[in-house]
Chains A and B, each alone.
Chain A
Amino acid sequence: MTSLGFPLISIALLLPLVGALVLLFVPKQQTSRIRMLAFSFGMATLMVALLIAAYFNTAAAGFQLVDTFDWIPGLGLRYTVSVDGVSLWFFVLAALLTPIAQLASWSLVEHDVRAFQALLLVLSTAVLGTFVAQDMVLFYIFFELTLVPTALLIGRWGGANRTKAASQFFLYNFGASLFMLVAIIALYFANRDASGVATADIGTLLTNIQDGTLALDPALERLIFGGFFLAFAVKLPLWPFHTWLPLSHAESTDDGSIDLIGLLQKTAGYGMIRFCVQLLPAAAAWAAPAIGVLAVISILYGALVAYGQNDIKRVLAFSTLSHMGFAVLGIFALNELGISGAIMMMIASGIATGALFLASGMIVARRGTRDIRELGGIWQPMPILGGLVLTAIFGSIGLPGLIGFAGEFTVMQGAWSSATLGPGFLLVAVFGVILAAGYLLTMYQRAFMGELKPLNAELPDLAGREIALLGLLVLLIVGLGIVPNALFGPMQATLQQIAASAAQLALR
């Protein structure tokens, strides 16, 4: 609860869900009213999220603004939601991308508007909930809940191959999550046996682990770690668990919902910090070098394969594979710098890649295709789109002064001075920096530069709403690149604590 006396986080979680329910009472045909209503709920959620950020005590480590009540008392399960330095910005980003996704889809989604908007709002609640649930079972439910609206969104509004994409997405992610479920159950019972109290509360588990009440047997800890890691590695994704990603991204809708879907990857990164590093630091330190290798492979592999694509959205999908590789490298540096950089990297990827996904939708709306070979020279008829896309691309490449660099460099510095990774990983990973410029600029060269094809000559440039949307994201790309401390600041207290306890527990 805040000093206001309002359960702000719960309100932010409920708002989209209530919005989705309200939509069901509006007649299907009134599409503009549906859009307006849905958008107002999205905006209201964003406002509450910003309020949460404003009330966040940046000097304090650990969970804040806690809302909690008994859920299933017999099992010690509670509904507990709260934010800390790790989750705060993910939460705000999810709340920001909801109205942006809605605005971007405004005129793009024409059939079944009501169902579309309702699903988007449900997805929003699910993603928001994943970042704030501080009870393991509640987390699992939110984490899995994201799959349903996503699969439905891809399966109903997606491209030609949408059914396959949706079912593959669902099965793959659902299957992997089962390992996490087992891990959660194991941790639950291990804690109950050790402390005598049945609870799935992450805060309590953390205290028990730190004060030694819950000292897991290394073998068991590694098994539990493996369960969590596998679930997150698939969703992140990490090489070689990535093959669902390009298909689901390419086949998903060409509207804004892709931004929110893209955020699912970040729930996995968040989960890795929360569970793999914070709860199981000794196993994390044990596995870090191997995971670091997978991360470096992901960075280079994503970049290599992105270069070979002809579909803008597939290029972007593989670019997030590269980005998430950097994020994992930072997370398993197991120090403050690395994890800070990883969070920044994921926020940056959400914003910059999100902007590029929106731009790809805008191109499709005009030209009917995302095939790079069909485009060419479109910077000429669309100078505003060209300029905004180029800025987002450089943000994604990691040009200093833009948001991507703030994440990338911090990750690299963290990994370099890490006790678990070290310079060797960077000597390889740094090639990702070169290759990123290669595939993204080549894409820009082929689609936006070069000779103007006759079919593209008359494409209209962005309209006001689109400029506002992309412009806002580009503003964040520049602004947060120049003042990264705005994001780093509130993370510090929590991450210092995580890094310190990780260092202490890993040694034990």
Chain B
Amino acid sequence: MVPTWIVLLIPAFPLFGFLLNTFLIRREREAGWLASAMVLLSFVATIMSMVALAGQPEGARINLTVFEWFTIGSFRVPFGVLFDQLTAVMALLVTGVGALIHVYSIGYMHGDKRAVRFFAYLNLFVFMMLVLVMANTMLLLFLGWEGVGLASFLLIGFWFERKSVEPGIVPAAAAVKAFVTNRVGDAGVILAMLLIFATFGTLSFYGAEGQVPGFLEQAPNLAFESINLGALGTITVLGAIGLLLFVGVTGKSAQVPLFTWLPDAMAGPTPVSALIHAATMVTSGVYLMARNRVLFENIGSGDSWIPGLIVAIGLITAIIGATAAVTQWDIKRVLAYSTVSQLGYMVVAVGMGATTAAMFHLLTHGIFKALLFLAAGSIIHATNDTQDMRHMGGLRKRMPITFWAFALGGAALAGIVPLAGFWSKDEIIAAAWFGYAGAQGNPLLAVMLIATSLLTAFYVGRQLALIFWGEQRDHTYHAHESGRSMTTPLIILAVLTVAGGTINLPGSHFLDSYLEPVFGTAVEEFTLGKGILAAVVTLLAGGALYAGWWVYARAWATRVRLAKPDPLYHYTGAIWEGAETAWGFDWLYDAAIGRPYKHVAAWTSSVFDQQGIQGILVEGTGNVIGWLSAGFRRIQTGYIRNYVLVFFGGVIVLLGYFVLS
């Protein structure tokens, strides 16, 4: 019997690694191995915790309070750990993929002058991410939520002194942009927490034994409670909470309209992009919705527009991400927009209530997208920090391991059978087409998702062709295969990409049944229709992938030149330009918010504050008093000793007043 306190070790190891690397370790090599070992130990602790969880009575979860965090009257928030099946799969992903990326970083960051700090930050990130997925209250989840934001800030800005990194991003500015944009979402989460506590009197997901039940346990009882918004009509309490939480999701999980920070986050070192900005942190919004599934599920029928809105936002995000990914030249920016797009898929799934499908895609995406980023990092490393794909070409023979890794990851992303991404993406499309958990299907939504997946397959084909086929278009570097500490994680992730789908094959439903105690959803039946749909979709995806490859490796291979526009640009024009800038969101924010805010701030501080408030209000009042009493002007001499005299004079007058009265 494994004791339940073992779950506390999961976050303890990376925290310990962070502290050691911050305060004691000064040598790069030690730092790298220590950091990797800590995450690996954390992975082992996760597996042992899963054994401990399996030993619990049916339907029970591990819910440990470490200490009382806030105790003010009835406002009580424990600092504690929740470990159930949902936490388990998230912790497995975080520590498993995390450990591989740590090992990879030993090779990738070799020779960087701040490598020790890099590993400290990386451990800090893993710790915060584990706090996020293991928190037993919303408030502690929020600590992890902003904590990963902090780690993300530190790692995006890791090369803070560089004026710009490819493709023209300023790391320091990108770091601030990421944090501030996320704060917009976080404001929504804060308001959601305020409303949750005001409604339920607790911020705990589930009450510990003998305590007030958690808000997830209370939520179904309040499905019909509503708030009057005056002229705006009414909204159910759960609907309002869900909407506010979703604002946070759009920030952290890079949904429209807050997704613009993610492409710029690519300014961080590539292992960071793999771990934080692809596999784990950006999925925490999806996790947040999965964790609060009961709440979203009970949003009243009057507010059915809220789930609809969530699905719509996810779909728009998926389309914007995919179209933008097609048009990028930067190898990491393609993958970044692809992440935006896939996160949109997941949000569509949770929005429909197909939470298990979303979690399945979250897991497989975590693996194959990490693989893609690490392979991209291997390429960047081998080509003297080249990221523009026009400068690549023909790398297939020089970097065979990297090529196979990238190709497998890409095929999984495109949804080619039988790779992991096929199974998970297909579940989402099937849920959209046929409906999920008794809900009505929406074939139009499914068709849009399929169209998006065709775009996905197309840009995968384009990327493979540009990087690996044809002739090397830039001869300033000699590409070579990366060292073993980098290729080993690639191979392991590639194997998982091939085998990953087995955790939830249509026949076995392993993940479905494992998560059933948390989500309480029945396993979906496999039907012939679903099989046909899946076959059609994967055939179409294969075709799109081939088309992408054919255009850039065969038909127009010679029209890809350094610093020249894409061959397809001539046929699409403005559409291509729109897609390339992700439809102008950045421009819009800068024009509508960024620059006006700067001007208003400058004007307020130099004109309004000094001349308006100080000049007219304060000094004006002073002058009026001055006119009223001519003596006032005489004592306004600027000499401190006079003021001291005035002060003591005042005290004497006061005392004298008391004595005389």
A binds B: yes
Chain A residues with CB under 8 Å of chain B are 72, 74-75, 77, 137, 140-141, 144-145, 147-148, 151-152, 155, 163-164, 166-167, 170-172, 174, 178, 181, 185, 240, 242-243, 301, 304-305, 307-309, 336-337, 340, 377, 379-380, 383, 394, 399-401, 406, 409-410, 412-413, 416-417, 423, 426-427, 430-431, 433-434, 437-438, 441-442, 444-445, 448-452, 482-485, 488-489, 492, 496
Known contacts A305-B605, A307-B597; decide if A409 and B618 are in contact (CB<8 Å): no
A243 to B68, CA, bound (A): 41
Q: Is the CB of A434 within 8 A of B143?
A: no
CB-CB nearest in chain B for A433: B187
Give CA–CA (A337, B72) in the complex, Å: 6
Q: Which of B41-87 contact A (CB under 8 A)?
A: 67-73, 75, 79
9 A-B residue pairings within 8 Å (CB atoms):
A174-B647, A243-B609, A243-B610, A308-B601, A400-B147, A410-B75, A413-B197, A445-B175, A449-B171
Instruction: Provide the B163-179 mask, 1 if CB < 8 A to any CB of A, else 0.
Output: 10000001111011001
Judge whether B69 and A449 touch: CB under 8 Å.
no
Within 8 Å by CB of A152, from B162, B170, B640, lies B640
A304 to B139, CA, bound (A): 28
Q: How far is the CA of A431 from the CA of B191 in the complex (A)?
A: 11
Taking CB atoms, residues of chain A closer than 8 Å to B173 are 445
Asked if B503 is at the interface (CB within 8 A of a chain A CB), the reply is no
A495–B599 Cα distance when bound, in Å, is 43
Indicate if the CB atoms of A484 and B69 lie closer than 8 Å.
yes
Contact B601 A243 (CB under 8 A): no
Query: Is B146 within 8 A of A308, CB to CB?
Result: no
In B579-626, which residues have CB < 8 Å from any A CB? Answer: 597-598, 600-606, 609-610, 613-614, 617-618, 622
A380 touching B161, Cβ below 8 Å: yes
A78 nearest CB across to chain B (Å): 13
- Indicate if the CB atoms of B194 and A412 lie closer than 8 Å: yes
Does B523 make an interface contact (CB < 8 A)?
no
Q: A301 to B597, alpha carbons, bound, how many Å?
A: 12
Known: A305-B601, A308-B606, A449-B161. A72 touches B655 (CB 8 A): yes
Among candidates A137, A145, A410, residue contacting B70 with C-beta atoms closer than 8 Å? A410
B526 within 8 A of A: no
* Residues of chain B within 8 A of A145, CB atoms compared: 647
In the complex formed, the residue of B with least CB distance to A378 is: B161
How far apart sit A410 and B77, CA to CA, in the bound complex (Å)?
11
Check A433 against B190 for contact (C-beta < 8 Å): yes
Q: Any chain A CB within 8 A of the CB of B404? A: no
How many angstroms between the C-alpha atoms of A424 and B139 in the bound complex? 21
Contact A151:B643 (CB < 8 A) given known A433-B190, A449-B160: yes
Chain B min CB distance to A228 (Å): 16
A492 and B73 form a contact (CB under 8 A): yes
- B210 at interface, CB cutoff 8 A: no
Give Cα distance in the complex from A287 to B163, angstroms. 52
Q: Which residues of B contact A172 (CB under 8 A)?
A: 618
Given the known inter-chain contacts A170-B643, A377-B161, A394-B150, please indicate yes or no for A438 contacting B180, CB distance below 8 A: yes
Q: Could you give, for residues 626-661 of chain B, a 1 whenever the CB lies within 8 Å of some chain A CB and a 0 otherwise?
A: 000000000010101001101100110011011100
Contact check, A406 vs B638: say whether CB atoms are below 8 A apart: no
Question: Which residues of chain B come closer than 8 Å to A308, judged between CB atoms?
Answer: 598, 601-606
* Contact between chains at A141 and B651 (CB < 8 Å): yes
* In the complex with contacts A305-B609, A410-B70, A401-B617 CB distance below 8 A: no
| Known pairs A410-B72, A434-B187; A307 contacts B150 (CB<8 A) | no
Check B183 against A151 for contact (C-beta < 8 Å).
no
List chain B positions with a Cβ less than 8 A from chain A.
67-73, 75, 79, 117, 139, 142-143, 145-147, 150, 153, 157, 160-163, 170-173, 175-176, 179-180, 183-184, 186-187, 190-191, 193-195, 197-198, 597-598, 600-606, 609-610, 613-614, 617-618, 622, 636, 638, 640, 643-644, 646-647, 650-651, 654-655, 657-659
Secondary structure type dominating chain A contacts = helix
Chain B interface, >50% SS class: helix
Cβ contact of B194, chosen from A394, A416, A438, A442, cutoff 8 A: A416
CB <8 Å contact, B190 and A430: yes
Which 5 pairs, one residue from A and one from B, show the smallest C-beta to C-beta distance? A449-B172, A308-B605, A308-B601, A449-B160, A400-B143
Distance to closest chain A CB from B360 (angstroms): 30
Minimum Cβ distance to chain A for residue B129 (Å): 14
Known A151-B640, A308-B602, A437-B179: A379·B160 in contact at CB below 8 Å: yes
CB of A75 within 8 A of CB of B180, answer no
Q: Do the beta carbons of B146 and A155 come within 8 Å of each other?
A: no
Collect the chain A residues with CB atoms within 8 Å of residue B598's CB.
307-308
The residue of chain A having its C-beta at the shortest distance from the C-beta of B198 within the complex is A417
On chain A, the residues within 8 Å of B72 by CB distance are: 336-337, 340, 410, 488, 492
CB proximity of B235 to chain A, nearest CB, Å? 13
B614 near A412 with CB under 8 A, answer no
* Min distance, Cβ A317 to any Cβ of chain B, angstroms: 11
Q: Say how far A345's CB is from chain B's closest CB, in angstroms.
A: 13
Give A119 to B650 CA distance when docked, in angstroms. 21
A349 to B636, CA, bound (A): 33
**CB-defined contacts of B68 to chain A, threshold 8 Å:** 485
Chain A contacts for B610, CB-based, 8 A: 243
Distance to closest chain A CB from B347 (angstroms)? 22
Pick the contact of B638: A163, A242, A451, A492 (CB < 8 A). Answer: A163
Name the one of B157, B191, B640 contacting A449, with C-beta atoms under 8 angstroms: B157
Nearest CB on B from A437, distance (A):
5
- Select from chain B the residue with minimum beta-carbon distance to A379: B160
Q: Which residue of A lies closest to B184 (CB)?
A: A434
Residues of B within 8 A of A185 (CB): 654, 657
* Max chain A Cβ within 10 angstroms of own Cβ: one of B597, B602, B609: B609
CB atoms of B643 and A399 under 8 A apart: no
Taking a contact as CB atoms under 8 Å apart, the answer to whether A147 and B142 are in contact is: no
Tell me which residues across on chain A come within 8 A of B190, comparing CB atoms.
Answer: 409, 412, 430, 433
10 more CB-based (< 8 A) A-B contacts, given A417-B198, A437-B180: A243-B618, A400-B145, A413-B197, A416-B197, A427-B191, A433-B187, A434-B180, A444-B176, A483-B67, A492-B73
Report the Cα distance A185→B163, complex, angstroms: 63
With known contacts A147-B647, A379-B160, A75–B143 Cβ distance under 8 A = no
The answer to whether A485 and B609 touch (CB under 8 A), given A72-B655, A450-B161, is no
Q: Which residue of B lies closest to A340 (CB)?
A: B72
Residue among B117, B172, B600 facing the most chain A CB atoms (10 A cut-off):
B172
Among A166, A174, A413, A488, the residue within 8 A (CB) of B71 is A488
Contacts of B147 in A (CB 8 A): 399-401
Q: Could you tell me the distance between the alpha carbons of A240 and B614 in the complex, rounded to whole angstroms?
A: 9
Report the Cα distance A484→B609, complex, angstroms: 36
A413 and B142: CB pair below 8 A? no
Tell me, in angstroms, the Cα distance from A427 to B604 when the chains sit together.
Answer: 23
A436: nearest residue on chain B (CB-CB)? B183
In the complex the two chains form, what is the Cα distance from A506 to B643 in whole Å? 40
Are B73 and A430 neighbours in the complex by a CB distance under 8 Å?
Answer: no
Distance to closest chain A CB from B202 (angstroms) = 12
A-side contacts of B163, CB under 8 Å: 450-451
Tell me, rounded to whole Å, the shortest Cβ–Cβ distance linking B31 to chain A.
15
Q: Are B75 and A337 in contact (CB under 8 A)?
A: yes
Q: Judging by beta carbons under 8 Å apart, are A307 and B643 in contact? A: no
Known: A144-B651, A410-B70, A434-B187. A304 touches B600 (CB 8 A): yes
Looking at the assembled complex, report how far the CB atom of B592 sits from the nearest CB atom of chain A, in whole angstroms.
16
Closest to B187 in A: A430
**Which residue of the partner chain, among B143, B186, B604, B657, contacts A305 with CB atoms under 8 Å?**
B604
Contact between A399 and B150 (Cβ–Cβ < 8 Å)? yes
- Pick from A166, A174, A400, A430: contact of B139, CB under 8 Å: A400
A75-B659, A426-B194, A489-B71 known; A155+B640 contact, CB < 8 A: yes
| A174-B601 CB under 8 A given contacts A144-B650, A379-B160, A434-B184 | no
Smallest distance from the beta carbon of A201 to chain B beta carbons, Å? 14
- Are A167 and B71 also in contact (CB < 8 A) when A137-B654, A412-B194, A445-B175 are? no
Q: Which residues of B contact A482 (CB under 8 A)?
A: 69, 79
Are the C-beta atoms of B601 and A307 separated by less than 8 Å?
yes
- Contact status B643-A167, CB under 8 Å: yes
